């Protein structure tokens, strides 16, 4: 009984994480204020939209925590077919989560702290803000390495599509979502649409996980 109960708790935790992770990520992107490449302008934006700025980054940070059990669930679906893609994609996602969380801390929360200073102090710190939003030094490495997060989900989508362990529309939604998410470097709105597509694909898998393993097996041919 204890084993069955433990497996049930794990299944529910993984299923809910799959449903909520990309949903919260998409919401964070959707409400994220405008990005600027000017340190002074970005500080003005943060001051004017401080509540949205903080909430957006909190939602994204919480979603990153949920991505760990979510990706473990996807890897579990690739244990028999596509195991190597599951391992590589999962490793990329986990490494990406670590560096993306560091980036959110710097770009989101450190900049929010700067925006709460007096106007004179903000003017003096505008170059520091610029160095954050156009990352320099080690922060540049953190920002670039965080793209492994996106690469990992693309590898997992390919693995699921090839292995057919879930309905193919789910893996296609994931792949399309990842490609759109790459466009977030050009527009936050594009990134939000991509995250929403991933929420549909991964969330659909999460619903099947919640229903039980037999639901996943029965849905394969679609």
Structure confidence by residue, pLDDT tens digits, 84-118: 999 999 999 999 999 999 999 988 888 888 877 77
Q: Which residue has the higher pLDDT, 169 or 128?
A: 169
Q: Is the pLDDT of residue 57 over 80?
A: yes
84, burial (CB in 10 Å: exposed 0-12, middle 13-18, buried 19+): exposed
Q: Is the pLDDT of residue 1 over 50?
A: no
Q: Which two tokens stand for residue 54?
A: 């903080």
User: Range of 195's domain?
Assistant: 2-218
Q: In this model, does residue 191 exceed pLDDT 70?
A: yes
d(CA 181, CA 168): 20
CA–CA separation, 25 and 182 (whole Å): 14
Nearest residue to 170 via CA among 220, 110, 120, 111: 220
Which residues are CB-neighbours of 194 under 8 A, at least 6 positions away?
176, 177, 178, 179, 180, 181, 182, 183, 184
User: How many structural domains comprise the chain?
Assistant: 1
Q: What is the DSSP letter of 166?
A: S
């Amino acid at each position: 009984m204890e084993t069955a109960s433990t497996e049930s708790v794990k299944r529910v935790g993984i299923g809910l994480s799959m449903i909520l992770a990309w949903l919260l990520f998409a919401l964070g992107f959707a409400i994220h204020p405008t990005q600027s490449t000017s340190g002074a302008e970005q500080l003005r934006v943060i001051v004017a939209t401080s509540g949205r700025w903080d909430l957006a980054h909190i939602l994204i940070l919480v979603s990153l925590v949920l991505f760990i059990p979510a990706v473990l669930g996807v890897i579990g679906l690739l244990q028999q077919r596509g195991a190597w893609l599951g391992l590589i994609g999962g490793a990329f996602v986990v490494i990406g989560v670590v560096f993306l969380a560091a980036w959110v801390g710097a770009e989101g929360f450190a900049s929010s702290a700067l925006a709460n200073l007096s106007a004179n102090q903000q003017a003096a710190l505008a170059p520091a803000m610029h160095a954050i939003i156009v990352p320099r030094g080690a922060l540049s490495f953190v920002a670039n390495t965080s793209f492994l997060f996106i690469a990992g989900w693309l590898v997992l989508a390919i693995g699921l599509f090839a292995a057919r362990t879930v309905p193919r529309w789910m893996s296609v939604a994931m792949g399309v979502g990842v490609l759109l998410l790459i466009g977030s470097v050009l527009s936050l709105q594009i990134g939000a649409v991509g995250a929403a597509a991933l929420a549909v694909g991964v969330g659909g898998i999460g619903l099947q996980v919640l229903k039980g393993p037999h639901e996943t097996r029965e849905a394969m041919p679609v």
